């Protein structure tokens, strides 16, 4: 577990990078976010959380929600029912690319690109009576924060600009890999992406990935082997087309979102969340990646 002073040093060290990236503006409701934010929180497997900078400020978790969706699907489906619909390989394409879906006959490369997450959202839609409600319940429980919400403005803004995600879903439908009504699933998917959580909430919520599937409140969410498998997929595909660079610089399984958040874990040790809204060319938080790199190097920790 790092000392609080170290987290403060990390924030101070990366603050000069603010101004070098670009806030995601393809979702209009996200474009107005204050770019000058940087926060970091760490939850260790003994259950303590510390943080520095803007670590208590909620932000749009966006694609980080793909971790929660897959986790929920793992609790509802047999392994094969999931992996017959989505692959386990890095995509080498941008997160919202369509070309691979066409070339690979509607089978998304992995659950952490949009195509894969939409298939997972389709699976959740099929099995849950109220998937949006179930998801909120899940994140509230995992982070032990009963006041968490999904931002309706962000979700509707995404729905109004959903041409690309809708195209991905319809393309998969044309190959027989999407069962429910596209708009209904898109609404659920955007609701998951629009959940607002702080670095503190997310580092607590992701603790199960560092603790063999056991959550902060002691419940076993997924099995130790499922947790290991999830971390393997996060290490290879969690940062989209920047996964190799992230493994090289940070060396932790992780997941980013276009809201500027990144979660990362050292299994057996701690879950970390960083947030800074400006993104690099792969759509990953620029200062956030640098913060994780500094943290890992200073602690001398990596999974490799
Ligand atoms: N990379 C992301 O965070 C993308 C999530 C965003 N809601 C989208 O579907 O485009």
Q: What is the pLDDT of residues 158-197, one digit of tens each?
A: 999 999 999 999 999 999 999 999 999 999 999 999 999 9
Of ligand 1's listed atoms, the one at least distance from the Cα of 64 is: 3
- Which of 86, 160, 159 has the alpha carbon at shortest distance from 122? 86
65-193 classified as CATH 3.10.20.740: no
Question: pLDDT tens, 10-62?
Answer: 999 999 999 999 999 888 888 999 999 999 999 999 999 999 999 999 999 99
Q: Is residue 165 a known part of a binding site?
A: yes
Is 114 annotated to bind ligand?
A: yes
- Ligand 1 atom showing the smallest separation from residue 117 Cα: 9
CA of 193 to the centre of ligand 1 (A): 7
User: Can you give the residue ranges of every domain in the chain?
Assistant: 4-63+196-299, 65-193
Q: Which two structure tokens, joined as six digits, stand for 255? A: 């997941």
User: Residues near ligand 1 with C-beta < 6 Å?
Assistant: 62-63, 95-96, 114, 158, 165, 193, 257-258, 283
208 is in an annotated binding site: no
- 258 assigned to a ligand binding site: yes
pLDDT band at 6; cut points 50, 70, 90: very high
Distance 299 CA to ligand 1 centre (A): 31
Q: What is the pTM of this model?
A: 0.97
Same topology, domains 4-63+196-299 and 65-193? Answer is yes
Give the mean model confidence (pLDDT) for residues 143-162.
97
Q: Measured in angstroms, how far is the CA atom of residue 62 from the centroid of ligand 1?
A: 5
CA of 167 to the centre of ligand 1 (A): 14
Of the options 3.40.710.10, 2.30.38.10, 3.30.2090.10, 3.40.50.12280, the CATH number for the domain spanning 4-63+196-299: 3.40.710.10
What residues are labeled active site? 63, 66, 189, 240, 258
Q: What is this model's ipTM? A: 0.95
Atom of ligand 1 nearest to the CA of 114: 9
106: nearest Cα among 125, 92, 87: 87
pLDDT above 80 (res 1): no
Query: By alpha-carbon position, which residue is closest to atom 9 of ligand 1?
Result: 114
């Amino acid at each position: 577990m790092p000392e609080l002073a170290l987290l403060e040093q990390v924030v101070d060290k990366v603050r000069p990078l603010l101004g070098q990236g670009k806030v995601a503006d393809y979702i209009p409701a996200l474009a107005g976010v204050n770019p000058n934010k940087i926060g970091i929180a760490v939850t260790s497997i003994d259950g303590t959380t510390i943080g520095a900078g803007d670590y208590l400020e909620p932000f749009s978790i966006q694609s980080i929600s793909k971790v929660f969706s897959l986790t929920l699907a793992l609790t509802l489906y047999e392994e094969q029912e999931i992996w017959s619909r989505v692959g386990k390989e890095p995509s080498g394409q941008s997160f919202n690319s369509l070309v691979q879906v066409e070339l690979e006959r509607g089978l998304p490369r992995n659950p952490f690109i949009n195509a894969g997450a939409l298939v997972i959202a389709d699976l959740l839609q099929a099995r849950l009576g109220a998937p949006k409600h179930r998801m909120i319940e899940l994140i509230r429980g995992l982070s032990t924060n009963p006041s968490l919400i999904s931002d309706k403005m962000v979700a509707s803004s995404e729905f109004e600009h959903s041409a690309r995600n809708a195209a991905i879903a319809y393309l998969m439908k044309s190959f027989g890999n999407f069962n429910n009504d596209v708009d209904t699933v898109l609404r659920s998917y955007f609701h998951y992406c629009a959940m607002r959580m702080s670095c503190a909430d997310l580092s607590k919520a992701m603790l199960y990935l560092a603790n063999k599937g056991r959550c902060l409140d002691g419940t076993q969410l997924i099995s130790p082997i499922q947790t290991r498998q999830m971390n393997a997929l996060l290490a290879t595909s969690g940062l989209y087309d920047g996964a190799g660079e992230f493994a090289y610089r940070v060396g932790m399984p992780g997941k980013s979102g276009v809201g500027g958040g990144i979660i990362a874990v050292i299994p057996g040790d701690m879950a970390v969340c960083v947030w800074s809204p400006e993104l690099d060319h792969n759509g990953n938080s620029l200062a956030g990646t640098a913060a994780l790199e500094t943290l890992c190097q200073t602690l001398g920790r990596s999974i490799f």
